[in-house]
């Protein structure tokens, strides 16, 4: 069955789902998006994703022309039309069709897109054995240029760091902020474990406050695992006992090497394993 894509209130065949070459999302990366998981037919952390989408829109002075409730219904409609019970949703809102100038005033109505599809970012073996990462030379955008808290279509910063990772033969790269502190990876938040305590960068360290990141914070509290949000530097990653990443697509993924240095004993650590297992149960309501 061909995928059906929701575009501005209509479900279209994948081959027919198109946007104008004059859409400012294409011309200038002027727009926002969310990546959302569906487990057992339920949209995971839907309220949190919609809130961040609307917050991102407000931050870039973009008015989404439907309510959050209507947008949720559109996502549910798209899932149902494609017969999915487990899938990945990409929700996109662009500034809309305008002219060849950058002024948003020339874009009378935003373009809204909802894609429901399957996703597998990493093979199963990576979750069992961990993966290697590098530190990218490309730094995060300065927060006074573009806040990392906005999940915008301006992803070139991340893409350039991703290219560095791929050139180095690894799937991910750690990005530092303008102060040289650890921020996040190209598509995931990061956590380390040292002496039984989980640590992750503060929201003020130029990170996107990931929805999965937030779930892990809550799960650590529920499991009684000590956790702190603080400034981290590369040295902290090098001497960590455990290291893992979180993201909607990747879920929870262990890291066992960074910049050629083995993390801990080179195996997936006990706290990481426990959080992976608990997260998988949590998303499917099996706790």
Query: Residue 261 pairs with which residues in a beta bridge?
Result: 258
Q: Among residues 129, 151, 218, 273, which one is catalytic? A: 151
Query: In sequence order, what DSSP letters do the residues of 21-58 get, joined into one string?
Result: TTBHHHHH--EEEEEEEEETTEETTHHHHHHHHHHHHH
- The pair of structure tokens assigned to 179 is 């102060």
Question: Alpha-carbon Rg of the chain, whole angstroms?
Answer: 19
| CA–CA dist 236, 99 (Å, integer) | 48
80 is a catalytic site residue: no
Nearest 10 degrees: Cα torsion 33, 34, 35, 40: -140
| CA–CA dist 246, 148 (Å, integer) | 16
- Give catalytic residues, as residue numbers: 151
């Amino acid at each position: 069955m061909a995928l059906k894509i929701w575009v501005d209130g209509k479900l279209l065949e994948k081959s027919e789902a198109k946007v104008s070459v004059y859409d400012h999302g294409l011309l200038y990366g002027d727009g926002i998006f969310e990546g959302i998981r569906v487990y057992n037919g339920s949209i995971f952390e839907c309220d949190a994703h919609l809130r961040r989408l609307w917050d991102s829109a407000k931050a870039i002075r973009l008015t989404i022309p439907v309510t959050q409730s209507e947008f949720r219904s559109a996502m549910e409609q798209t899932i149902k039309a494609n017969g999915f019970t487990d899938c990945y949703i990409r929700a996109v809102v662009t500034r809309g069709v305008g002219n060849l100038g950058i002024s948003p005033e020339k874009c009378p109505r935003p373009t809204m897109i909802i894609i429901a599809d399957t996703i597998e970012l990493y093979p199963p073996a990576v979750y069992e054995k961990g993966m290697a990462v590098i530190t990218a030379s490309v730094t995060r955008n300065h927060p006074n240029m573009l806040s990392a808290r906005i999940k915008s279509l301006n992803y070139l910063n991340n893409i350039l760091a991703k290219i560095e990772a791929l050139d180095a033969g690894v799937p991910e790269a750690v990005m530092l902020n303008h102060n040289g502190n650890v921020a996040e990876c190209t598509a995931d938040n990061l956590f380390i474990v040292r002496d039984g305590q989980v640590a992750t960068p503060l929201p003020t360290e130029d990170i996107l406050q990931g929805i999965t990141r937030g779930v892990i914070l809550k799960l650590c509290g529920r499991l009684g695992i000590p956790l702190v949000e603080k400034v981290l530097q590369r040295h902290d990653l090098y001497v960590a006992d455990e290291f893992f990443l979180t993201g909607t697509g990747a879920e929870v993924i262990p890291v066992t090497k960074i910049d050629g240095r083995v993390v801990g004993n080179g195996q997936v650590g006990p706290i990481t394993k426990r959080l992976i297992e608990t997260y998988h149960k949590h998303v499917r309501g099996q706790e």
